[in-house]
Amino acid sequence: MYDGLKGFRDFYPAEMGPRREVIDTLEATAKRYGFREIGTPAMERTEMYVDKSGEGIVEELYAFEDKGGRDVSLTPELTPTVARMVVAKQQELSKPIKWVSTRPFWRYEQVQQGRFREFYQTNVDIFGSAEPDADAEVLAFAADALTNLGLTSAEFEFRVSHRDILGGLLEAFDADVDTREAIRAVDKSEKIDDDEYHDLLVAAGLSYDQAAEFDDLLDTDEENLDELIEFAGTDRVEAAVTNLQNVLDVADDFGAREYCTLSLETARGLDYYTGVVFECFDATGEVSRSVFGGGRYDDLIESFGGQPTPAVGVAPGLAPLSLLLQRAGVWPDEGFTTDYYVLQVGDTREVAAGITRELRERGHVVETDLSDRSFGGQLNYADSVDAETVVIVGEQDLEDDAVTVKDMASGDQQQVPLTEFPGDHDRPTFDDF
């Protein structure tokens, strides 16, 4: 007996059915927005992640040397991969490029609620538009996907921010600030206490008084964003505030504004984010961590050797999303049932197989005996797979040129002429006879 690896999960049918329904809903929503599906490899060169995040990232990767002596890693995220793909065919692709994919990723990190070492995400990205409409469309897709899954505005919120507001405010202080480390501190602020948070800001270059002032600035509400422009006195913050307000205005037109809350404490820890960023949270607070996030990363394509190409995306993760759906009571049921079970009694396989094929050709889920079970054993199996209708093909029935149709919910059954089943009925049941 072998145990599964920590952080890697098995999905039996009772769980895989709902997961498939969630994935199908996410992808169907993306399709209605015009996103086209792509497929991507499970491994990339490790240097691609090291170049973007430094040598320390290797500790978080499933990294190894392959048989050709290449340093490779199982992909921990999709964004660098799609950036590489855009660069490879940048001149051939019509802009904006709108892509979607659902697949597993791997990170060697601490396993906790909603976080595993192998995890699944649906990634939705737009390349080639710097307009607020692109950011707003990503927000609208995410909102539609969640409402299509049965959630309401009372169940979730998008906390929206802008990386240039954060960076511009930090630049306004008379201090030698490591902006990258300060923004990472902001990203952690919800998970740590105030003293630890301020210590991280001080370590990034602010004084304790400046850290407290910076923290107060991040509490500014949407009606008072002009105060941030006045404090910073820079074009960078003014442009960022204008851009953020424009994105929220377009999100209103797209029907997503009601789900958005200004939250300058939202930073997104990855270094490649450049503009509007957002994270989805359980509005009740019962799911304590971010459900998923996204944002703009306008510099990444160029850093991969391509032409300057603005980009924005979002990546709902199935594990944390399932926590939100379960908390809200809208996690799908297993959903997979058997329409027909064709039960064989005696030497009737040829006729039973013909009925089975004909019902399947009409698009129904049909099972039949594969294990030479008794009549009772087959009936018990049909009940275990929630078969709606059992078609009994017995030797005595065939002597009468008939089959017996049994409704499993009521237990009622009757004999039906073989020529009439399935006959002209698209989905024949007991009630049709």
348 phi and psi angles, rounded to 5 deg: -130, 15
Domain count, the chain: 2
Quote the mean pLDDT of the chain. Answer: 94
Q: Report the pLDDT value the prediction gives residue 321, as an integer from 0 to 100.
A: 97
For the annotated binding site for L-histidine, the residues are 77-79, 107, 121, 125, 268, 272-273
- Rounded CA-CA distance 151/330 in Å is 7
Q: Tell which residue, 4, 1, 25, 2, has the closest CA to residue 330.
A: 25
Q: Sorting pLDDT into bands at 50, 70 and 90, what band is 113?
A: confident
Of the three residues 275, 293, 328, the one that is the final residue of a domain is 328
Tell me how many degrees the CA angle 221-226-227 measures, rounded to the nearest 5. Answer: 75
> Is 174 in contact with 206 (CB distance < 8 Å)?
no
Predicted confidence (pLDDT) per residue in 287-309, tens digit: 988 999 999 999 999 999 999 99
Q: How confident is the model at residue 415 (pLDDT cuts 50, 70, 90)?
A: very high
Specify whether 301 is located in the same domain as 413.
no
Does the residue 203 lie in any domain? Answer: yes
DSSP sequence for 282-307 = ETTSSS-S--EEEEE-TTHHHHTTS-
Residue 270 confidence (pLDDT): 75
The CATH number covering residue 392 comes to 3.40.50.800
Dihedral pair phi/psi, residue 328, rounded to 5°: -80, -5
Q: Are 229 and 275 in contact (CB under 8 A)?
A: no
The candidate with the shortest Cα–Cα distance to 30, out of 132, 125, 158, 130, is 125
Binding-site annotation: residue ranges? 77-79, 107, 121, 125, 268, 272-273
The answer to whether residues 38 and 313 touch, using CB atoms and an 8 Å cutoff, is no
pLDDT score of 114 more than 90: no
Range of the domain at 318: 13-328
CATH number at residue 266: 3.30.930.10
Q: What does the pLDDT look like over 351-391, one tens digit per residue?
A: 999 999 999 999 999 999 999 999 999 999 999 999 999 99
Model-level pTM? 0.90
Which tens digit of pLDDT belongs to each residue from 7-53? 999 999 999 999 999 999 999 999 999 999 999 999 999 999 998 87
333 part of a folded domain: no
Q: What is the pLDDT of residues 282-292, one digit of tens each?
A: 999 999 889 99
Closest CA to 82 of 59, 63, 98: 98
Same domain, 224 and 361: no
Is residue 406 a part of any domain in this protein? Answer: yes
Cα–Cα dist 223/305, whole Å: 40
- Whether 7 is in a domain gets the answer no
- Residues 130, 93 share a domain: yes
Q: Rounded to whole angstroms, how far apart are CA atoms 229 and 310?
A: 24
User: End of a domain among 299, 328, 357?
Assistant: 328
Taking residues 204-223, report their average pLDDT: 92
